[in-house]
Structure 1
Amino acid sequence: MARSHLTLAALATAAVQGLDAAGAQPIGSGSHGDFEAALVTGTDGRHWIIRIPTSERAEAEQSADLVALRALSTGIRGRLPFAVSTFAGQTPVSGTRAVVYEFVHGRKAALDDIEPGGELADSVGRAVAAIHSLPTSFIADAGLPVLSPAEILRANITIMDRASATGLVPGALLGRWEGAAEDSALWQFAPTVINGALSADSLLVDSGSHGGEVVGMLGWHGLRVDDPARDLFWILGSNRAGAAETVIDSYQQARGSTDRQIERRARLYSELELAKWLLHGAQERSTEIVDDAVAMLHGLADSVRDDLSTTLSHHTMPVMAVDEVEAMLDRRRA
């Protein structure tokens, strides 16, 4: 039975020294209802979020989020144009722990709030660029993953191979993904700090007249050094024509980026999310999830079959082997 918001408020006072709760209200938390959560208001007017994981996956996510928040020092946060929550305290409860964070003000964004050419789309691009411009050294210092292009490519190939082994992925899609994996031009990029779990649900925005600006960002459990395209694939799911282009253009301008293949890799990651959903269904032995994933995969195959604008391959640049890419990156770091 779920705990009431009043019970959660009492736990918050136990977790944070000096917190005197004056009120509380339940809030949604987690993408699949994986947390019991409440917004707690103190007698001093400050606001706090308390969350208790309800699954092993959520508990692992929460633990990773805490490591990331500790890695985001005051100096690192000062480089970001938005607020990041701060760990405030914790208390044991029912074999897990309740964790309290300082509340970050802002309204939750929806994907369709991001309009092409709008203020919010431009702000999203600049916010993501700010993350990717952070120094990579603090990630290594915190013991978080630091991946090379070769490791990133191998991880994607593993997903493709596992999805192929199910026999449920349309052959046209497998060929499309394999072509992308074999096209070394796509993998000539410099890994950056990434949020790693970014989506529209991560964004907190103000209420500006043109859609607002990003004022906060939630969910840092995927923080690492990886492909910057991973933080952009979600915007490709927008139903607003031109929204993704505005975000990516703003991002490229803010970073002064020369990564011409970032959108193609983002598209690949977007498509591989369906493969991951299929693999999750197979692991959970859920016919419902598998059927859903297969239907989406076939829909994707139909949508890209004759659409050359969404090709994942790129054949106008010299092709380099993966070891050549690694050597090039080593020279750049030297």
Structure 2
Amino acid sequence: MLAALASAAVPGLQPTQVRRADAADGVGEDVDAAVVTDAAGRSWVVRVPADPAAGTHLEREAVLLRRLVALDAGTLPFVVPEPAGSAAVRGGGRALVHRSLPGHPLDVGDLRPGPGLSRSLGTALGRLHELPPTIADEAGLPSYTADEHRERRLVELDRAASTGQVPPGLLSRWEKATEDVGRWRFSPCLVHGDLAPERVLAEGGAVTAVVEWGEARVGDPADDLAWLAVGADADALDTVLEAYAVSRDEQPDRHLPVRAQLAGEVALARWLLHGVRTDDADVVDDAVQMLRDLDADVGGEAL
């Protein structure tokens, strides 16, 4: 079915092989996806939204991607999926098709201090955050001021607290960091909004592509560094941040690393809330265990 949709979306595409796509192909969990090889030997990714919300994100993403592709050559030091076509899906929504992109999902363990992948990643993020926020406006993406972003974080913490599953020490740590207004004075910029290793493709010691833009918005640049703040080696993270600062016209605010660490930790609470919302006991149990492990690691220390 997905191969047929790819053929309908891209004139002249004649599928010869198809396989189910997975995280290694830079595909998220909110879509049904396949990798299709055509008669000319070209590889394509076709994505179909799993639900109406995912459909909305996919349509917004398509508009944003077309604007990113239209940027002057060299503006971004990586490529993004270029929509080649779309096709209506029975039951609503549209399938989106793009060529497969170069590289493999980044392994955070491969990040090392100094020249190479860490520096390339910092430069990539810095150049992304230098894009004009008007791109997001043109694509109909959400936009939040610094104050609005902080308020959204507080609401998120309240929801997590209401589950009764977040260790009190962690809640206190997060609330103090969020209530400290001085740490939330930043200039909002266009952010990917959902960066993780499987969404950043790399090859030959450099970032080659960034995929899955459905959560893009104007907001806190720290959100795009959260996965690194909690997962990368400290020295490698320093290299990323140094390259990032060099790539920005406006120097990053000094509280950026703290907000990135906070965002990375709060992602566990978001996972818990997802499990509660979907009534998935396995997800809830997984999130609760990770929260307990984090609580033991930080030992009640303040951010």
Is the TM value for this pair above 0.5?
A: yes
Q: Which amino acid aligns with 2:217?
A: R
Of the structure 1 ranges 275-284 and 259-268, higher mean CA displacement relative to structure 2 is found in 275-284
SS of equivalent residue, structure 1 residue 67: helix
| Cα distance change of structure 1 residues 61 and 77 upon mapping to structure 2, 3 Å threshold | farther
SS of equivalent residue, structure 1 residue 17: coil
Distance in 1 of aligned mates of 2:18 and 2:282: 37
Q: Which amino acid aligns with 2:279?
A: R
Distance in 1 of aligned mates of 2:74 and 2:232: 34
2:126 maps to 129
Of the structure 1 ranges 32-41 and 119-128, higher mean CA displacement relative to structure 2 is found in 32-41
Larger radius of gyration: 1
SS of equivalent residue, structure 1 residue 105: coil
1:103 maps to 100
1:70 and 2:37 matched: no
Distance in 1 of aligned mates of 2:4 and 2:185: 52
1:224 maps to 217
- 1:244-297 CA deviation, whole Å, 9 max, x = no partner? 222122212222524111000001111111111121122122332222222221
How far apart are residue 165 of structure 1 and its match? 1.6
1:16 maps to 10
| Cα distance change of structure 1 residues 116 and 304 upon mapping to structure 2, 3 Å threshold | same
Q: Which runs of 5+ in 2 are unaligned?
A: none
| Cα distance change of structure 1 residues 232 and 152 upon mapping to structure 2, 3 Å threshold | same
Assess if the C-alpha contact under 8 Å between 2:60 and 2:214 holds in 1: yes
2:55 maps to 59
Distance in 2 of aligned mates of 1:65 and 1:142: 8
**Residue of structure 2 aligned with 1:170, choices 163, 167, 181:** 167
How far apart are residue 32 of structure 1 and its match? 3.4
Of the structure 1 ranges 60-69 and 25-34, higher mean CA displacement relative to structure 2 is found in 25-34
| Cα distance change of structure 1 residues 182 and 93 upon mapping to structure 2, 3 Å threshold | closer
1:287 maps to 281
Q: Give the 5 Å matches for 1:212-291.
A: 212-238=205-231, 240-255=233-248, 257-291=251-285
What is the root-mean-square deviation of aligned Cα atoms in Å? 2.3
- 1:282-320 CA deviation, whole Å, 9 max, x = no partner? 21223322222222212111111265xxx42xxxxxxxx
1:145 maps to 142
How far apart are residue 73 of structure 1 and its match? 5.0
Distance in 2 of aligned mates of 1:67 and 1:95: 22
SS of equivalent residue, structure 1 residue 242: helix
2:36 maps to 39
Distance in 2 of aligned mates of 1:166 and 1:21: 48
SS of equivalent residue, structure 1 residue 267: helix
How far apart are residue 139 of structure 1 and its match? 1.8
| Cα distance change of structure 1 residues 306 and 277 upon mapping to structure 2, 3 Å threshold | closer
| Cα distance change of structure 1 residues 178 and 11 upon mapping to structure 2, 3 Å threshold | closer
Q: Which amino acid aligns with 1:226?
A: G
| Cα distance change of structure 1 residues 289 and 25 upon mapping to structure 2, 3 Å threshold | closer
Distance in 2 of aligned mates of 1:143 and 1:306: 41
How far apart are residue 38 of structure 1 and its match? 1.4
Q: Which runs of 5+ in 1 are unaligned?
A: 1-6, 313-334
1:179 maps to 176
How far apart are residue 62 of structure 1 and its match? 2.3
| Cα distance change of structure 1 residues 306 and 107 upon mapping to structure 2, 3 Å threshold | same
Assess if the C-alpha contact under 8 Å between 2:69 and 2:82 holds in 1: no
Q: Which amino acid aligns with 2:216?
A: L
Q: Which amino acid aligns with 2:263?
A: Y
Distance in 2 of aligned mates of 1:82 and 1:102: 15
SS of equivalent residue, structure 1 residue 222: coil
How far apart are residue 161 of structure 1 and its match? 0.9
Distance in 2 of aligned mates of 1:65 and 1:224: 10
1:93 maps to 89
How far apart are residue 57 of structure 1 and its match? 5.0
- 1:135-162 CA deviation, whole Å, 9 max, x = no partner? 1122223322221011001000000111
Identical-pair percentage: 37
